[in-house]
Amino acid sequence: MESKKYKGKSTEAIHAGETFSTGVQDQQSGKTGIPLLPPIFQNSTFRFETATECASAFIDEESGYVYTRWGNPTQKVLEGKLAVLEAGEAALATASGMGAISTALLTALADGGHVVAMETLYSATYNLLNEEFPRMGIETTFVDATDPNKVESAIRPDTKVIYLESPTNPLLKLVDLAACAEIAKAHNITSIIDNTFATPCSQQPIVLGIDVVLHSMTKYLSGNGAVIAGAIVGEKEFIVAAQKGALRNFGAVISPFNAWLTLLGIPTLPLRFGQHCENAACIAAFLEAHPAVAWVRYPGLPSHPQYELAKRQMNGFGGMITMELKGGRAAGEKLVNQLQICALAVSLGDVRTLVCHPASTTHSHIPMEVRQQTGITDGLVRFSIGLEDTEDIIADLEQALGTLSF
Ligand SMILES: *Cc1c(COP(=O)(O)O)cnc(C)c1O
């Protein structure tokens, strides 16, 4: 496998999958050149010289490109890189993280069946499993997957998928991926994880035995906040089934431009992620010591209830921090209004520090009792720590926290 070729993640992120060796030739001047940066093929369709060539591309897709919904060279370079980074056999890039999640689930559940899922999922994934799939006859049992026994107990004879996230949003709970992968294997069930928060720099679920890894590349992988994009990584058979089936027919294909923008981001992922981790560790410690803060959740803090699992499973604890303010909802609202460097915005994994206060913004329409049940308390604030200098982020936090009463 290509992953054996390089010793480190940065070399992989820079070189893996970049296979255009023949370059381009201008037919008029005869001049040739090999672009160092993979070029963008911003075209919807491909032209054939003869009817025979066209016919053979339809029979054997490996023999040529036909139409960008079926595949595009820019997308292929990106997919080659993703497969190597996640130590998978193959990868598929998609139009969005949700495009990856829905395509992967529709592939694993092609004959219907039941899903066992982590109870605190990314909200659109929860809606997909809780609202969309039941209309197709697919049921999900939501469990607290921080206890692998609860995952196993929820398995039914028709269970086809175990669906996980780790760390979870927004409470940064961890799932023991090796334990859950073992349970899935014992019951012949496809295990799937959304690895968006951790990135392949921190954890490699396929190495731990998980079958399929998903990403919202909108976040750390692209890193610049410029695209919406997603990815599926897994065994070749699964990826080919996803590509020829759900991706092609439901149509969540990535645009060549977004594939190319993501390709610009990935080479710096290991460098960026390392700095996100370093900055977040520093800020988590600052917040934990601040009198306006009730508690801080960060997998790299010894106060995290699963700190031992974090150390065992993760190589770098990421850039996401969640905290509870003593002043409740009013304090959360005031904090996000006072912050100047930290931008009030959803999303994560950006080079800029982002902050969100779910109770007054994204979750304000949800009744308080329901929010409390899922752990979205009134003073809960989530940070995606960016790449600014920590002195500046801390100064911003200090001035904003200093205005709060508690
Ligand atoms: C953002 C996100 C998604 C959805 O990705 P999009 O690119 O917005 O479709 C899925 N899972 C997690 C964990 C995310 O953070």
Say which amino acid occupies 405. Answer: S
Mark whether 4 is an active-site residue: no
Over residues 83-129, the pLDDT tens digits come to 999 999 999 999 999 999 999 999 999 999 999 999 999 999 999 99
pLDDT at 21: 61
Nearest CA residue ID for atom 8, ligand 1: 97
* Cβ 68 vs Cβ 259: under 8 Å: no
* Cβ 67 vs Cβ 256: under 8 Å: no
Mark whether 350 is an active-site residue: no
Mark whether 194 is an active-site residue: yes
| Ligand 1 contacts CB of residue 230 (under 6 A) | yes
Q: For residue 233, report the phi and psi dihedrals to the nearest 5 degrees.
A: -130, 135
Nearest CA residue ID for atom 11, ligand 1: 122
Nearest CA residue ID for atom 5, ligand 1: 97
* Cβ 231 vs Cβ 16: under 8 Å: no
Q: Which one of 76, 81, 176, 194 is the catalytic residue?
A: 194
| Ligand 1 contacts CB of residue 318 (under 6 A) | no
* pTM of the complete model: 0.96
Q: For residue 124, report the phi and psi dihedrals to the nearest 5 degrees.
A: -70, -30
Over residues 138-165, the pLDDT tens digits come to 999 999 999 999 999 999 999 999 999 9
Give me the residues of the chain with pLDDT under 50, please: 1-3
Neighbouring CB atoms inside 10 A of 330's CB total: 15
Burial classification of residue 103, based on how many CB atoms lie within 10 Å of its CB (0-12 exposed, 13-18 middle, 19 or more buried): buried
| Ligand 1 contacts CB of residue 262 (under 6 A) | no
3-state class (DSSP) for residue 251: coil
Q: Which one of 9, 81, 122, 160 is the catalytic residue?
A: 122
DSSP state of 174: -
Over 345-386, what HEC string results? CCCCCCCCCEEECHHHCCCCCCCHHHHHHCCCCCCEEEEECC
Say which amino acid occupies 374. Answer: T
* Cβ 103 vs Cβ 242: under 8 Å: yes
pLDDT at 2: 45
Mark whether 147 is an active-site residue: no
DSSP string, 97-133: HHHHHHHHHHHHTTT--EEEEESS--HHHHHIIIIIG
Letter string b/e over residues 367-377, b meaning 16 or more CB atoms within 10 A of that residue's CB: eeeebeebbbb
Q: 292 CA distance to ligand 1 centroid (A)?
A: 30
